[in-house]
Structure 1
Amino acid sequence: MAEILPLRAWRYNDSLNESIDQLTSPLFDVVSQKQREALYRNPTNSIHLSVPRGEAPAKDAARLLQVWKENGVLLQDGLPGLYVYYQYFRLPGNEKEYVRKGFICNIKAYDWHEKVLLRHENTIPSAVNDRIELLEETELNTSPTHGLYSDAGFILEPYMDESIRTPIYETEDYQGVRDVLAVIHDHEIIRLFLDTLSDKQILLADGHHRYEGSLAYRRKMTALNPNHTGYEPYNYHLMYLTNAEHDDLRILPTHRLLQHLPMSEEEFMERLQEYFTIIPKEDPFELNEVIVGKLWAFGLYLNGNAYKLRLKPEVHASIDWNFPDEVKQLDLTVMHYFIFEKILGIYRQQQRDYKGLSYERNFTACIQKVDKGEAQLALITNEVSMDQVKRVCNSGAVMPQKSTFFYPKVICGFLFSSIKEDEFTTATSACF
């Protein structure tokens, strides 16, 4: 099923005066404006390729990339390889050190109908368009998306464990996560990785917008190429693959913030009572705790007042969205159907790109933004489980946008993958 390939990555020149932690950057959708400004001040930071700015950001990024190649800021590795990537991290209130193990490779950008790569959530159209334009101009994958495969026998982990003992990079990122990168060049071991993935489906965990960008680019280039074979560089996408059977895979919740209610607060609270049991809470900073493990339960923070909301079970069957039960059972489906559509009148298709709706992973930040007047209300939700992700993917349906937050996030800047003809062909077919 899944066709993966090694690559000759473009990486920062080791002779640069800056260390790798000064050159890496967070993914474009998880970094605050203040963090971005600090990164932009460094003229060689990877953010200039991954999140370019200006009047023509994609074209500027392409010009900068060429300058970096010509001046030796970036160099292409001499041998194709699979890049092993481990992330060591801790979670609040837990002494355990987790480690998420995986490897970075090129994977064919499969269309959804091919059922090789499965998505689990909707995307925001404007964000996809930005990614398409950047890929067209630079012909560069600036950061890997995150995919999951299932291997209960853990066939590949011993080879990754051995490789990570001699790292290329080891640094601590903006999340406080220790990131370690190594590479496997051995032809026979690479072949084992390729063969192991050849009968697997891939669940797309993170990076739906970047993946859809690659998919749209592949469709466009296929239509323009009368001699299309399926092996041209534009067919491939950069992905970080991890084993979904590993215990250290973590998904954190993504909360919702609404800038303005389209009705009075009194009317909103009155309409909530039609669908939810509402329990006032004294301390808003306990909202994430009082809903833990409870089905269809949410925290609401509005105008300094905190409430626990729980859907009245008898109204759940009234959901008339054309979704399978796997999706209807999700907390976020309940939230988006009853609160956003039925109560606020923001219909499902509008929700994907609704200007007043934003997403926040940090629970404390939600409370603070409401207190500062940056949002009128916050809706606090539970995390989505890995089992729920698998069931939704296998159903062929998708969750509401921004349903999952796989933690930790992959960082940008360790390596880049070119889909230029001369740079890609050398990396793959010449050896495999």
Structure 2
Amino acid sequence: MTEILPLKPWRYNDKIALDIDELTSPLFDVVSAKQRETLYRNPYNSIHLSVPRGERPAEEAAVLLQQWKDEGIIQQDPLPGIYVYYQYFRLPGSSKEHCRKGFICNIKAYDWNEGVLLRHENTIPGAVNDRIDLLEKTELNASPTHGLYADPDFILEPYMDESIKSPLYETEDYQGVRDVLSVIQDHHVIKLFVQTLQNKQVILADGHHRYEGSLEFRKKKLRQNPQHTGQEPYNYHLMYLTNSEHDDLRVLPTHRVLRSMNLSDDAFLNRLQEYFLIKPIDDASELNEVIAGKKWAFGLYLSGSAYAIRLKPEMHPFINWNFPQEVKDLDLTVMHYFIFEKILGIYRAAQRSYGGLSYIRNFTSCIRLVDAGEARVALITNEITMDQVKRVSRSGAIMPQKSTYFYPKVICGFLFSSIKEDEFVTATAACL
């Protein structure tokens, strides 16, 4: 049973002359250093709560949050609601406009072993610790994570479509995406949302670090509270939920870039030939097109030379990681096992925190980094499909870290969800 709740979020005060376009920010794990410095110049931008700076960033974010509340920069909505969030976007090379439909609510922070909320990829430990500290000091979810539920009957979409006609905010973000937010406060409609999710599992699409931060915070509070009931605010987490049956869900690939390696180019290619078929490519800009739709195929850009490589089928059964077949069949499992572990000697346990490995979505950036001498090799991959995400999640296993990039990313700044005792909406008050 998935338990969701409406929320009474803190939002920027409409009566203060603040332009919402200047207050939103990218999520903590995608905002670049250059973007951060630009956003920090605005003293009221949401970046100060989601990616605080300073010697003690979490503590400074907590002080700033209270200051914003005291000065009326942000104020809490008086009624609980389900916040409808639509994102209108186009993909490169296409004129078709897509619309990803969803809604923001609070959801019980289920442990993975409960089988209610399912993860699909690994996390990077340092980023989790950072999120735990920030949540503990501020008691605030500054941005929603992204979850998927399956509803082939599209029960909730008519109510969301009606609500979005009266937006609270409408803006164009750093991705070129049009973001629109509205709210449903009708008690009977909210109850329908709650009931619709009750018998469904949720797959965590994006925000594994923030969600694990909430889990660890909940466990800590539980140990401190012998009167724990399960309804305390610390049991809940802010999430953006979308219907996985929509055609407008898009998952983009995340490529791998290595700054250095302990093999010469010739030695690396010789080792690759043990496992892969290798084909030189004249134009590196075509690497992503050459491998498109091909199983266990990758683009390789090595010291200025481009290759298409594809695993020899007879090699695949030699993967000896203790994973179910759904994970072994993934392109990225093939890459991480044969290239990183078998050829480069970077073993699976070390790959999650390996400092020389970068995860980059933009194909052109991968090529540019190698050309500029800032990286030795770029490995270009195909995207993961939604069917693969579902099958891996339901198998109970996880993909390699940074396997998926659900596009577009949600933005930070539309609303903030407090888990302070006197600011939280309880199930009894809002849903019964």
Q: Alpha carbon RMSD of aligned pairs, Å?
A: 0.7
- Partners of 1:19 and 1:331 in 2: how far apart? 43
- TM-superposed CA distance for 1:428, in Å, is 4.7
SS at match of 1:429: helix
Find the counterpart in structure 2 of residue 197 from structure 1: 197
| Aligned mates of 1:391, 1:57 — CA distance in 2 | 39
**Partner of residue 101, structure 1:** 101
Structure 1 segments of 4+ aligned residues over 4 angstroms from their partners = none
Residue by residue over 1:319-367, the C-alpha shift from the partner in whole angstroms, topping out at 9 and shown as x without a partner, is: 0000000000000000000000000000001000100001000000110
User: Which is further off, 62-71 or 262-271?
Assistant: 262-271
Give distance in 2, aligned partners of 1:234 and 1:165.
33
2:207 matched residue in structure 1? 207
Aligned partner of 2:372: which letter?
Answer: K
**Is the contact between residue 280 and residue 306 of structure 1 (CA under 8 Å) also seen in structure 2?**
yes
Letter of the 2:363 partner, please give it.
F
Q: String of CA shifts for 1:24-47, please: whole Å, max 9, x gaps.
A: 000111122111110111111000
Alpha-carbon distance in structure 2 between the residues aligned to 1:328 and 1:157: 36
Partner of residue 179, structure 2: 179
Report the secondary structure of 2:268's partner residue.
helix
Q: Is 1:239 paired with 2:247?
A: no
Return the letter of the residue paired with 1:178. R
C-alpha distance in structure 1 between counterparts of 2:114 and 2:430, whole Å: 27
- 2:257 maps to 257
Specify the alignment match of 1:141 in structure 2. Answer: 141
**SS where residue 101 of structure 1 aligns?**
strand
How far apart in 2 are the matches of 1:311 and 1:16? 59
Q: What is the SS of the residue equivalent to 2:126?
A: helix
Residues in 1 aligned to 2:357 and 2:153: alpha-carbon distance in whole angstroms:
42
How far apart are the structure 2 equivalents of 1:87 and 1:74? 24
Once the two structures are superposed, residues 257-297 of structure 1 have per-residue CA deviations (whole angstroms, 9 ceiling, x without a partner) of: 10101222221111011000010101111000000000000
| Pairing of 1:113-192 with structure 2 (within 5 A) | 113-192=113-192
The 2-side partners of 1:15 and 1:356 are apart by 48
Instruction: Say yes or no: does 1:371 pair with 2:354.
Output: no
Partner of 2:416: 416
Residues 102 and 243, structure 1, Cα contact 8 Å, conserved in 2: yes
TM-score (norm 2): 0.99
Moved more, 262-271 or 320-329: 262-271
Give the residue type in structure 2 aligned to 1:133: D
Matches for 1:309-320 after TM superposition, within 5 Å: 309-320=309-320
User: Which residue matches 1:332?
Assistant: 332
Tell me which residue corresponds to 1:430: 429
> Counterpart in 2 of 1:353?
353
Q: Is 1:272–1:339's contact at 8 Å kept on the other side of the alignment?
A: yes
- The SS at the match of 1:237 is strand
Post-superposition shift, 1:16? Answer: 2.5
Equivalent residue letter for 1:430: A
Offset from partner CA, 1:354-406 (integer Å, 9 cap, x none): 00001000000110111111211100000000000000001000000000000
Residue 237 of structure 1 aligns with an amino acid whose one-letter code is H
Structure-2 residue corresponding to 1:230: 230
Percent identity (aligned): 74
Alpha-carbon distance, 1:429 to partner: 3.3
Contact 2:5–2:430 (CA under 8 A) maintained in structure 1 = no
What do the CA deviations read for 1:234-261 (whole angstroms, capped 9, x no partner)?
0000000000000000000000010101
Give the partner amino acid of 1:193: F
Query: Contact 1:7/1:428 (CA < 8 Å) preserved in 2?
Result: no
1:251 partner SS: strand
Distance 1:12 1:377 in 2: 44
Question: Displacement of 1:430 after TM fit?
Answer: 2.1
Ranges in structure 2 where 5+ consecutive residues have no aligned partner: none
Q: Name the structure 2 match of 1:38.
A: 38
Identify the residue that residue 5 of structure 2 maps to in structure 1.
5
Q: CA deviation at 1:17?
A: 2.1
Please give the alpha-carbon distance, in whole angstroms, between the structure 2 residues aligned to 1:72 and 1:429: 28
Determine if the alignment matches structure 1 residue 382 to structure 2 residue 382.
yes
1:344 and 2:344 correspond: yes
Match of 1:275 in 2: 275
Equivalences, count: 431
- Post-superposition offset of 1:18: 2.4
- Give the Cα separation in 2 of the matches to 1:371 and 1:35: 24
SS of equivalent to 1:136: helix
Q: How does 1:15-26 map to 2 (within 5 A)?
A: 15-26=15-26
1:414 Cα deviation after fit = 0.2
Structure-1 separation of matches of 2:301 and 2:43: 41
The 8 Å contact of residues 80 and 428 in structure 1, kept in 2 or not, is answered as: no
- Kindly indicate whether the alpha-carbon contact (under 8 Å) linking 1:108 and 1:236 is maintained by their aligned counterparts in 2: yes
- Residue 406 of structure 1 is matched in structure 2 by 406
The letter of the residue matching 2:384 is: V
Spell out, residue by residue over 1:212-244, the C-alpha distance to the aligned partner (whole angstroms, 9 max, x if none): 000000111111100000000000000000000
TM-score (norm. length: structure 1): 0.99
